[in-house]
Amino acid sequence: MYKRLSAIMFPLTALLLVGALVWGYQENQEKNSILIKAENQYQRAFHDLSFHVERLHGELGNTLAVNASSNGMHRKGLVNVWRLTSEAQNEINQLPLTLLPFSETEEFLSKIANFSYKAAVRDFTKKPLTEAELGNLKALYKNSGEISKDLQEVQQKVIGNKLRWMDVESALATEEKAEDNTIIDGFKTVDKRVAAYPELDWGPSVASIYDKRSVKKIGGKPVTAEEIKAKAVKFADIGGNEKVDVRENGKGTEWASFTAMVSSPNHQQPISMDFTREGGLLISYNDNREVGPAKVSMEQAVTKAGEFLKKKGYPGMTAVSADRYDNLGNLTFVSSQNGVLIYPEKMTVRVALDTGDPTGFQASDFVKEHQDKREIPKPALSLAEARKHLNPEFKELYHRLAWIENEDAVELLTYEFGGKINGSQYRIYLNAADGNEEAVEEVRTSSGAQDK
């Protein structure tokens, strides 16, 4: 019996063992294939990065080599600088550097890309490169040469010592011997060098991109938790017997603020509000009550939202867009001055379409940008003169004066034209002084969305 059983089990066991070995071999081969592919991708990205930074250094040199009045060559050079910098940024993103401090270099490249792009797209016949911008290019030429040299040194070590990027990824993930890794040390050297560079004057258009909004910029006297409680109860206005919990956020930092939670037996859910510590200004309001089926039109919602803002201390706000999503309406309001819409001073209001009552709003832009009075000039162009700068095929639906911030972070007066062309709806903002196109926005509408 045992002989018969062994005669059956032995071949079966042997077959299973062979199958396991074959499966294990195939799995190992597939794993090795994936690792080789990843290593090849890392190596390609790194060598491309070194090549493009070297090309970037050369292109900056070419741009500086021509005459200061060579607007065409300056534009061409800056476009190439932007392209090469963008490619270098893309290659950095393909390397396993997420756990490695390389943020200084990434931000440096990002600023070069934004600086070169914004300079290249402007009209050089009206605004040629300034002395300050040429000084920036000279500094960038010198700095990029140093970065390129450092990367080439790392590249030589990678090739000469046959170093693997998979070892870098493993070292960063496990934190084992990361300090001894040649590639990691090389990239740390580059980032440390970049961090030591003096900050350049990139101009307002680039600086505004990296401007970190701070509640401290708002000014005002610091408020206490008790003052926030009183403000929260008054704004919530949900009946008596309110209970208010106030929490301070970011104490001791520039982002210090207060969050107030107001609850009452007369209301479904607590209402949360965020206030700045400096001045006690309301940043956001959120009522998380359950919203029923929509019974109110978007036109009625806009009206009720305007009444709500006026009641809460924001008079003169104008709805500029209204989008509907299921049983909620998202409305954008801006302030106005003498009939001119002030777009930097905007806030968004969320409306529940079962009753039309606002259930939340976000006012951080309004809080940061609000001014009691702006110096707004009269338009140099008439409406008829401004219209001449529109595409003849543009079908105008409305027009109005609007105060906006353009791509160069400069606030100015524009004519805003809303209309349709090529089957889509657009807002076009023309400079009220010279008719130049300052901004063009496609109005994307979702189901039930409206544009005001």
The answer to whether position 422 is within a domain reads: yes
* pLDDT band at residue 91 using 50, 70 and 90 as cut-offs: confident
Question: What's the CA gap between 335 and 403, in Å, rounded?
Answer: 10
Q: Does any domain span residue 365?
A: no
Reading the block at residue 278, the tokens are 């400096």
Give the separation between CA 396 and CA 217, rounded to whole angstroms.
39
Q: Give the pair of three-digit tokens for residue 173.
A: 């993930």
Average pLDDT for the chain: 83
| End residue of a domain, out of 190, 210, 230 | 210
State residue 335's pLDDT score: 95
Helices (H) and strands (E) in the chain, counts: 11, 13
pLDDT in tens, 271-330: 999 999 888 999 999 998 889 999 999 999 999 999 999 999 998 899 999 888 889 999
Is residue 418, in this structure, part of any structural domain at all?
yes
The pTM score is 0.69
Position 74 scores a pLDDT of 86
Residue 86 CA: distances (Å) to CA of 60, 119, 322: 14, 15, 36
428: closest CA among 448, 447, 404? 404
Q: How high is the pLDDT of residue 357? A: 92
Least confident of 86-90, 105-109, 159-163: 159-163
Report the alpha-carbon distance of residue 441 to residue 428 in Å, rounded: 7
Residue 60 in this model has a pLDDT that exceeds 80? yes
Mean pLDDT confidence for 370-391: 94
- What does the angle CA 424 – CA 425 – CA 431 come to, to the nearest 5 degrees? 130
Nearest one of 124, 106, 122 to 53, comparing CA atoms = 106
pLDDT of residue 214: 46
Q: What percent of the chain has pLDDT over 70?
A: 82
**What is the residue range of 172's domain?**
9-210
Which of 176, 210, 244 is the last residue before a domain boundary? Answer: 210
In a domain, 251, yes or no: no
- Taking the CA atoms of 249, 250, 251 and 253 in sequence, report the sign of the dihedral they define: negative
Q: Residues 235-245: what's their mean pLDDT? A: 82
Residue 216 lies in a domain: no
What number is the average pLDDT over the span 419-426?
A: 92
User: What are the helix (H) ranges across 129-240?
Assistant: 131-160, 165-174, 182-195, 204-210, 225-236
What is the chain's Cα-based Rg?
Answer: 30
Distance CA 79, CA 73 (A): 10
Domain count, the chain: 2
Identify each DSSP E strand in 43-146 by its residue range.
none
Specify the higher pLDDT residue, 375 or 35. Answer: 375
In-domain check, residue 218: no
Residue 136 C-beta-side C-alpha neighbours within 13 Å: 20
Q: What is the pLDDT of residue 178?
A: 47
Instruction: State the pLDDT at residue 98.
Output: 61
DSSP letter string, 250-307: STTSTT-EEEEEEE-TTSSS-EEEEEETBT--EEEEEE-----S--S-HHHHHHHHHH
- The span from the CA of 185 to the CA of 386, in Å, is 58
Helices 2-65 and 131-160, packing angle to 10 deg: 150
Give the burial class of 191: count Cβ atoms within 10 A of its Cβ; 0-12 exposed, 13-18 middle, 19 or more buried.
buried
pLDDT of residue 447: 39
Residue 65 inside a domain? The answer is yes
210, 240, 261 - which closes a domain: 210
Residue 356 lies inside a defined structural domain of this protein: no
Give the model's pLDDT for residue 449.
39
Top-ranked range on mean pLDDT: pick from 167-181, 188-202, 258-272, 374-388: 374-388
Helix-, strand-, coil-residue percentages of the chain, each rounded to 5? 45, 25, 30
